[in-house]
Structure 1
């Protein structure tokens, strides 16, 4: 398995310039990189520079987040969701089909769970149709976050896979973040079950602290055994805050994950 680094957080020693961080990731032997929002505060990130660095190094942009972040749970937000996906599609096409990442938005108080589930499925069916027609793919990411007492509606891998299965489109897959899954206390192996084919990408960070695998409490030997036994063959996304220099950080991660 190869690594894809979140260059928003990693390789900071290369400077603030994302293109320089891509080159640093390549020098460290990584084959992929990821970014968060492709457009932030109405300012598009330096996509020309990013594209040039990717071309020069052969590194691939694996994913980016759809912007602005909208609620999949609230039907009043669905037109904004679809507009945001439409805006992101040319970026995904530009970067060899990079996954367009969506989170669900927060639960809606006093709204039945099934109604919220159905709302997410409904808008993702429409969004996946847009992505499919454009030759791109959406990644639904379960995110553990609590604001004002409300959790994200999709915060477990299990529920995320239920939704991906219900949408039933090749243009929608799951981004399985082991850190967020561990925060919810779900059983990783049971959550994935026999549905690894619906998982496009796996991200890692340890808990507590969201640092390198090996710095916290997650049983990485067990996690990696699940991935191998269930046939995951993709890259491992490194979405953590490094707590040490790049070389040491990657060495610790490789050791914890059992990846030479």
Structure 2
């Protein structure tokens, strides 16, 4: 089996040996035409000069910015998103405008809204209500640029509510019922595999409705070939099942980033 899906390089995990704004050019030099980023700024509402420098780096490198996380607090780190955090709702809402502004300049259409961990002393139902409200606001915001809000199950945090595709899809369904058509699952094959999902079954049943795919091998989260996940077969099956988007390379290279692309040849 082989697929013809294109790749986008996650420059928040790859090329980390370089400053953020030098990574788009490094990806271009390595032969890629598309990049994605976690939220690349410290603040939810960075200074305009910071935004201009980031967008300028994308433009100068002549790559397409295909994906961007909404502000997610400290990532990597203790936050894992703020979508469901009542005390950060204003910060998240303010971030939507910044994200849309970047999208208007770059053509980005995929926006990952990390849910955030369960918080001590906060009713989970209240967190879920806030998350839904924030998701609807984000979906309305990015609809202006033809964007999709992505919901991602992740591994490594016991207090993160979405670990399986089923849990992520249940929230996506809730958002759709509430009127947001442009919300979809981000299927990160590494996270799903580590959390015990049958990734092949998830692909078989849901590939056509994936909003985005990201890959890393499991265990370890290294480049494909460093673990035992059947990534090529999963991507072929995803394409056969109707997925037509790009595939995000979101792994932690076990060798210098440029050498970590050996599996592609």
Q: Shorter-chain TM-score: which interval?
A: 0.7 to 0.9
Partner residue in 2 for 1:125: 136
Residue 159 of structure 1: how far off its partner (Å)? 1.6
Q: Is the 8 A contact 1:177 1:203 kept in 2?
A: yes
Pick closer, same or farther for the CA change 1:171–1:210 going to 2, 3 Å. Answer: same
Give structure 1 regions of 4+ aligned residues with deviation exceeding 6 angstroms: 109-115
Instruction: Pick the aligned partner of 1:238 from 249, 255, 265.
Output: 249
Tell me which residue corresponds to 1:95. 106
Choose which of 8, 32, 35 in structure 1 pairs with 2:34: 32
| 3-state secondary structure, aligned to 2:23 | helix
Question: Residue 215 of structure 1 is aligned with which of 220, 226, 243?
Answer: 226
Deviation sequence 1:93-135 (CA, Å, 0-9, x none) = 2221342221111235798877765553343223312322454
SS in 2 for 1:195: helix
Contact 2:215 2:231 in 1 (8 A): no
Q: CA deviation at 1:215?
A: 0.2
CA positional deviation for 1:137: 3.2
Q: Does 2:56 correspond to 1:52?
A: yes
CA–CA separation in structure 2 for the residues paired with 1:41 and 1:72: 15
Shift of 1:77: 4.3
Q: What residue is the counterpart of 1:257 in the other structure? A: none
2:169 is the alignment partner of 1:161: yes
Structure 1 match to 2:187: 176
Structure 2 equivalent of residue 185 of structure 1:
196
Match of 2:76 in 1: none
Kept after mapping to 2: 8 A contact 1:63/1:101: yes
- In structure 2, runs of 5+ residues without a counterpart are 74-80
Distance 1:49 1:86, change over 3 A: closer
Q: Mean Cα displacement is larger for which, 205-214 or 19-28?
A: 19-28
Partners of 2:19 and 2:126 in 1: how far apart?
A: 43
In the alignment, the residues of structure 1 paired with residue 188 and residue 230 of structure 2 have an alpha-carbon distance, to the nearest angstrom, of 14
Contact 1:68–1:84 (8 Å) recurs in 2: no
Quote the residue 2:15 is aligned against: 11
For the aligned residue pairs, the C-alpha RMSD in angstroms reads 3.0
Task: Please report the TM-score for the alignment, with normalisation by the length of structure 1.
Answer: 0.80
Structure 1: gaps spanning 5 or more residues: 255-259
Distance in 2 of aligned mates of 1:246 and 1:123: 35
TM-score (norm 2): 0.79
Equivalent residues, number: 249
Once the two structures are TM-superposed, the CA of residue 232 in structure 1 deviates from its matched residue by: 1.4
Check whether the contact 1:92–1:99 (CA below 8 A) recurs between aligned residues: no
Higher strand share: 1
- The answer to whether residue 160 in structure 2 is matched with residue 152 in structure 1 is yes
Deviation at 1:88, TM superposition (A): 2.3
Match of 2:69 among 55, 58, 65: 65
Partner Cα separation in structure 1 for residue 128 and residue 67 of structure 2: 25
Q: What is the distance in 2 between the residues matched to 1:8 and 1:136?
A: 21
Aligned to 1:200: 211
